[in-house]
Structure 1
Amino acid sequence: MSKARSETLRAEARAELARLRARYPAQFRTDWPARLRAALLLGGLIGLAGFGAWQFEMSPARLLYGLGRLGSFALLMLPPSPEGHLGTFVHALGETLGIAFLGTLTAAILAFPVALLAARNVVPNPFAHFAVRRGLDVMRSVDVLIWALIWINVVGLGPFAGMLAIACSDFGAFGKLFSEAIETCDRRPGEGVVASGGSALHRIRFGLIPGVLPVLASQVLYFFESNTRSATIIGIVGAGGIGQYLTELIRVLELQQVAFLVLMILATVAAIDWVSTRLRRAIIGPAAR
């Protein structure tokens, strides 16, 4: 394109912009109150972040010192080694997987009928719907680590307490997710069942459940993958699994064994992610992730 042609196009663009400004002046007027509000909000966020950094005594010197110590710890972890405890670690890892699997399965089984009660298109009563939803909110508002501490004092130390902690924590989450999936399900199959003479129970069994089951199964698989990591964390407080060994080895600075346990956990989570991704794709189609 020649220079003259470029200058002509720029002149035409400027002329068109001038015509637009003249025709729609309000659209080009600077909204100074909105800009002031945005500047005040940004300034408030920056001030809040600065106040938090001051309260937590954050400083570049402490950060650099911590990074140096982190590097020293990383060197002490090399090479990762079980140091004769491979069998014990593998057994503990299997216990962790058992905690995650049984906790997730128990929560899903118990949450499904409750989710039906929480769905508006299944139970139209607003009072029952409100009561069930708030109960689910209470269950999922308590972190899994708190549930683990509660169940340890109820049933004692060990993997049973960890399984119950994951089940309680996931019960509220599954109830919410399942009910939302049920509410967004296509209603036409259920209406067809009722139109052909089916009861309300038949509508749920044959018109609703087949439509939402793939989505629910995908959610359960994702939670199992996530709960494998959670089962490691709750083991630190005595709820069984590999977390018990991890916290003890960190306490006595057996860092090579700690590195070996971390690698075992990473490999296990990666394998579960690989398998669950393919299962989700097989259940709900190639769009699953």
Structure 2
Amino acid sequence: MTRAGPLRATLLAGSDGLEARHAALIAPGWRSRGGMMLALGGVVALYAAGLAILDISPARIAGGLGRLGDIAALMVPPTPETWSRFQIYLAALGQTLSIAFLGTLTAALLALPVGFLAARNVVANRIVHLLTRRGLDTVRSVDTLVWALIWINVVGLGPFAGALAIMCADFGAFGKLMSEAIETADRRPVEGVLSTGGGRLASIRFGVVPQVLPVFASQVLYFFESNTRSATIIGIVGAGGIGLHLSELIRVLEWQQAAFVILMVLVTVAAIDAVSQRLRAAIIGRRAG
């Protein structure tokens, strides 16, 4: 307690010099504040311009919410109407899951070797690395719905086009994520394999793959759950699955059946999400252990 007084006095005495030396940091001037206000004003002006260009007004929003409420009332109660229709919707939902599963798994298998080519710590050749990365960026830049429209014109309507669309869209994403996971792998196991006389391929097989394989598996599970929703959307354009039935029901204003189909999709996605979360947690936990 006896030292508190002198120590406090010393700190207070030095505070004036501290403020003088770092005045710009302690009390920002009008320039920094003006720049911040200018940036904020620019964001607000850009937002307002976007609303004006897209013709978004409070009146239209209010009218849309009222119409949305009317449609929600027409959806109650959700019903398939007949047992035969329920069987049709259930079969279409199974087709949607098949599209998502096959597209995701095929994309992961094809992207695995490409991910190694795109990783800097595996391929030292800059040209190969650059071409691989830019190729993945090109494939990834095209949306799943666009790929579905392309493949429908190539192979025709049906689930085959849907699976190909998901495969192409996920191929670029998987390649990028896998290459980044490979680049962050610990170097010490690779050096250990090389020090024992192992070759380059052996160092990748036993030094890199065991580290990144759990990450790959977790990514595949996540993409499968996400692609279940994507497969529903691409079905609307004719790529198979339950999306085609949903589109037809909305077009003919069968809102109760449309609500039942949406409910089926929601329950399925929730179930897949719950299972995949447990599997991802188990995979990551096993890796940590």
Q: For the structure 1 residues 141 and 280, does the alpha-carbon distance in structure 2 shift closer, same or farther, using more than 3 Å as the test?
A: same
**1:32: Cα distance to partner?**
1.6
How many residues were matched structurally? 278
The match for 1:74 is 72
Taking only aligned residues, the RMSD between alpha carbons, in angstroms, comes to 2.0
Q: Which runs of 5+ in 2 are unaligned?
A: 1-10
Q: For the structure 1 residues 196 and 69, does the alpha-carbon distance in structure 2 shift closer, same or farther, using more than 3 Å as the test?
A: same
**1:269: Cα distance to partner?**
0.5
CA distance in 2: counterparts of 1:159 and 1:239, whole angstroms: 5
Q: For the structure 1 residues 186 and 152, does the alpha-carbon distance in structure 2 shift closer, same or farther, using more than 3 Å as the test?
A: same
Assess if the C-alpha contact under 8 Å between 2:214 and 2:287 holds in 1: no
CA distance in 2: counterparts of 1:25 and 1:69, whole angstroms: 57
**1:199: Cα distance to partner?**
0.8
**1:283: Cα distance to partner?**
0.5
The match for 1:158 is 158
Identity %: 65
The match for 1:240 is 240
Which amino acid in structure 2 is aligned with residue 266 of structure 1? L
The match for 2:187 is 187
Deviations 1:47-100 (CA, angstroms, capped at 9, x unpaired): 111111111221111111111111110000000001111000000000000000
Deviations 1:234-287 (CA, angstroms, capped at 9, x unpaired): 000000000000000000000000100111011000000000000001111189
Q: Secondary structure at the match of 1:79?
A: coil
**1:29: Cα distance to partner?**
3.5
CA distance in 2: counterparts of 1:88 and 1:153, whole angstroms: 26
Q: Secondary structure at the match of 1:285?
A: helix
Alignment of 1:89-238 (within 5 A): 89-238=89-238
Q: For the structure 1 residues 159 and 283, does the alpha-carbon distance in structure 2 shift closer, same or farther, using more than 3 Å as the test?
A: same
Assess if the C-alpha contact under 8 Å between 2:123 and 2:129 holds in 1: yes
**1:42: Cα distance to partner?**
1.0
The match for 2:33 is 35
Aligned equivalent of 2:19, options 21, 35, 39: 21
**1:191: Cα distance to partner?**
0.9
The match for 2:276 is 276
Which amino acid in structure 2 is aligned with residue 71 of structure 1? G
What TM-score do you get using the length of structure 2 for normalisation? 0.92
Deviates more, 1:23-32 or 1:158-167: 23-32
Q: Which runs of 5+ in 1 are unaligned?
A: 1-12
CA distance in 2: counterparts of 1:120 and 1:57, whole angstroms: 47
Assess if the C-alpha contact under 8 Å between 1:233 and 1:243 holds in 2: yes
Assess if the C-alpha contact under 8 Å between 2:120 and 2:129 holds in 1: yes
CA distance in 2: counterparts of 1:25 and 1:49, whole angstroms: 35
CA distance in 2: counterparts of 1:195 and 1:16, whole angstroms: 58
**1:14: Cα distance to partner?**
9.1
Q: For the structure 1 residues 287 and 73, does the alpha-carbon distance in structure 2 shift closer, same or farther, using more than 3 Å as the test?
A: farther
Assess if the C-alpha contact under 8 Å between 1:281 and 1:287 holds in 2: no
Q: Secondary structure at the match of 2:103?
A: helix
**1:36: Cα distance to partner?**
1.4
CA distance in 2: counterparts of 1:30 and 1:42, whole angstroms: 17
Q: Secondary structure at the match of 1:82?
A: coil
